[in-house]
Chains A and B, each alone.
Chain A
């Protein structure tokens, strides 16, 4: 049956075509069960009134109209925005300062390594251990660090209840200190890639430190900064681990963000359907940000074709 004419194009045998799929199979299965399915289930659940009684009924858009009439909503949206934006801005600023200081001013020094190692510690140690420190600093009893110091200095006589006064500020502070290092790593790597000659040339031309920073370093950091901005923004909008450990959304709802609200509605109050609807909104926001992300960073460049035909 073999044809005499050699085939025009090389045709991959079926086994070779299937072969790449074996490599991604375990990953694909996991992703399907624990990412795709939950995503679909979230959408389905958000149109039902699933609660502790476990007898879901289709109720259309009621959950969504309920969200927009929820009297907690303005406060929670405000909290989410404040938390995300302030955390992002301050942590970016500090990541920038620290990476410029350690990679430019103190480049190659032992002290630079020490600062970096220390700064990474808050993100290395388990979150549970990390937040305990902040709980101690702002502890409302006399035992707390700030209260103790202020008492000994004679500023206040009664212990101050920090968490009722500025819970959000404390949450933001704790979040910032542990997220700075993520940005710091990327920015440091980018600054490190600037050739030394560029600095030398700038100095020969009599450039000041200020213009070295603004004309050489900052332009190099454009892409890493964009990257960090969007990825951290998504993180801040949707994750609530520190908030949960520090204040659990309280006092009242002062530190409840949208995603924590979804969690509380579902697992504390057992309004699973409503919780799913709220988290769908978080998903929607994250999705928009991610699409923006894909646009911004040329996606095609990341895909490289195989250079072996088999």
Chain B
């Protein structure tokens, strides 16, 4: 027997109440971007940032389209590099024997639970020494190092699930270890690669902190840094219409993307919690 209807109604009521702030947030975003609150009329004035550079309360920002291009390029680059590095690493951790594997695994675990932001002061000086401050390369390297341990960890979980028989069979048929990896294992873990690609993309797309810290030219910003310039200025009245309009333009594509990929989020077992 399923729980009674009364109980279900109760559960629904509570859940709706809990979810209300999030619904409010979504509704507000659409309303604020497209409505003039004082007159209560529909307006597209806030979307003029499509055509001209944004200027508000002394903050001058460049036209948005080059920034959009930066964001897309940066995010795709991060996805490509993170996948390219984390898949072989996870394979080695999951399938190969090598000296120092134990120590390396422990270190991976340490790094994974250890937030890189605590080391950001020293990282900054290392970037200065390498002349990588105010370059994309510097941001890329720091961002990738910060998120790689998590990606490797998820990927390792996927490799662990692959039956050994498959690899044995491939090698009996004349594959070397590497061709077995390339032709048999990688196709087998494609869902995992898809998952880490999605995570990497979302992480890179929302990155604002490293841009704030390491990039000084406004025309090199990504959308997150662009928006943060508008909302973190102190002692000013925030222009919500403008910010929500840019925010909507910025967020809508990934929310749609997320709704299509949301199954991935529930499927990935993020390790550690495995020991049920």
Q: Which residues of A contact B (CB under 8 A)?
A: 17, 19-24, 26-28, 30-31, 33-35, 37-42, 45, 94, 97-98, 101-102, 105-106, 111, 115-122, 124-133, 135-136, 139, 141, 143, 145, 177, 185-186, 188-190, 193, 203, 209, 220, 223-224, 227-228, 230-231, 234-235, 238-241, 244-245, 248, 259, 262-263, 266-267, 272, 275-276, 279, 282-283, 286-287, 289-290, 293-294, 297-299, 301-308, 310
The answer to whether the Cβ of B179 comes within 8 Å of any Cβ in the partner chain is: no
* Residues of the A chain whose Cβ atoms lie less than 8 Å from the Cβ of B209: 241, 244
A129 near B113 with CB under 8 A, answer: no
A26 near B177 with CB under 8 A, answer: no
* Residues of the A chain whose Cβ atoms lie less than 8 Å from the Cβ of B234: 248
**At the interface, is chain B mostly helix, strand, loop or mixed?**
helix
Task: Report B195-215 CB contacts with A as 1/0, cut-off 8 Å.
Answer: 000000010011011000100
The answer to whether the Cβ of B21 comes within 8 Å of any Cβ in the partner chain is: yes
B126 near A37 with CB under 8 A, answer: yes
The answer to whether the Cβ of B115 comes within 8 Å of any Cβ in the partner chain is: yes
7 smallest CB-CB distances across A and B, nearest first, come from: A126-B206, A41-B122, A23-B92, A20-B98, A34-B145, A38-B122, A38-B119
Q: Which residues of B contact A (CB under 8 A)?
A: 1, 3, 7-8, 11-12, 14-15, 18-19, 21-23, 25-26, 28-29, 32, 37, 84-86, 88-89, 91-99, 101-102, 104-107, 109-111, 113-126, 141-142, 144-146, 148, 152, 160, 164, 167-168, 171, 177, 202, 205-206, 208-209, 213, 223-224, 227-228, 231-232, 234, 237-238, 240, 243-244, 247, 250-251, 254-255, 258-259, 262, 265-266, 268-270, 272-273, 275-276
A35 near B117 with CB under 8 A, answer: no
A30 near B121 with CB under 8 A, answer: no
B276 near A223 with CB under 8 A, answer: yes
* Residues of the B chain whose Cβ atoms lie less than 8 Å from the Cβ of A139: 238, 240
- With beta carbons under 8 angstroms apart, the residue of B18, B168, B224 that contacts A128 is B224
CB distance from B5 to the nearest CB of A (A): 12
- Give Cα A299 to B247, complex, Å: 43
- Give Cα A186 to B250, complex, Å: 28
A128 near B240 with CB under 8 A, answer: no
B273 near A186 with CB under 8 A, answer: yes
- Give Cα A40 to B243, complex, Å: 41
Q: Known contacts being A35-B119, A209-B3, A303-B101, is A131 close to B231, with CB within 8 Å?
A: yes
